[in-house]
Amino acid sequence: MIIKTLVENTTLQENLEVEHGLSLYIETKKHKILFDTGESGIFAQNAIKMDVDLSAVDMVVISHGHYDHGGGLKTFLSLNSKAKIYVNKKTFDKHYAIRPNGVKTYIGLDEGLLGNDRFIFAGNSMVVDDEIELFSGVKAQRLNPSGNQDLLMMNGDEFIPDDFHHEQNMIINEDDKTILVAGCAHNGIVNIMDHYHYLKNSFPNHVVGGFHLYNRSRNTNENPMLVDEIGESLLKTGSQYYTGHCTGMESFSRLKKIMGNKIDYLATGSQIII
Confidence at residue 180, expressed as pLDDT on a 0 to 100 scale = 98
> Is the predicted pLDDT of residue 12 greater than 90, yes or no?
no
pLDDT digit string (tens) for 205-246? 999 999 999 988 788 899 999 999 999 999 999 999 999 999
Q: What is the pLDDT of residues 183-211, one digit of tens each?
A: 999 999 999 999 999 999 999 999 999 99
Q: What is the reported pLDDT for 217?
A: 78
- For residue 7, report the phi and psi dihedrals to the nearest 5 degrees: -155, 145
The per-residue pLDDT for range 102-117, each reduced to its tens digit, is 899 999 999 999 989 9
May I ask the CATH class of domain 2-273? alpha beta
| pTM beyond cutoff 0.85 | yes
Angle ∠(269,271,274) on CA atoms, nearest 5: 165
- Which pLDDT value is given to residue 181? 98
Sequence-distant (6+) residues with CB within 8 A of 231 are: 254, 255, 257, 258, 259, 263
- Strand pairing of 23-27 and 169-174? unpaired
Does position 37 have pLDDT exceeding 90, yes or no? yes
Residue from 161, 5, 30, 16 nearest 97 by CA: 161
Average pLDDT of span 91-109: 94
Any residues with CB less than 8 A from the CB of 88 and at least 6 apart, and which?
64, 65, 121, 122, 123, 136, 165, 166, 167, 168
Task: Label residue 267 by pLDDT band (50, 70, 90).
Answer: very high
Q: Give the start-to-end residue ranges of the domains of the chain.
A: 2-273
151-155/119-122 β-pairing = unpaired
Query: pLDDT tens for residues 72-85?
Result: 999 999 999 999 99
Average pLDDT over residues 249-269: 97
Query: How does the average pLDDT of the chain come out, rounded?
Result: 96
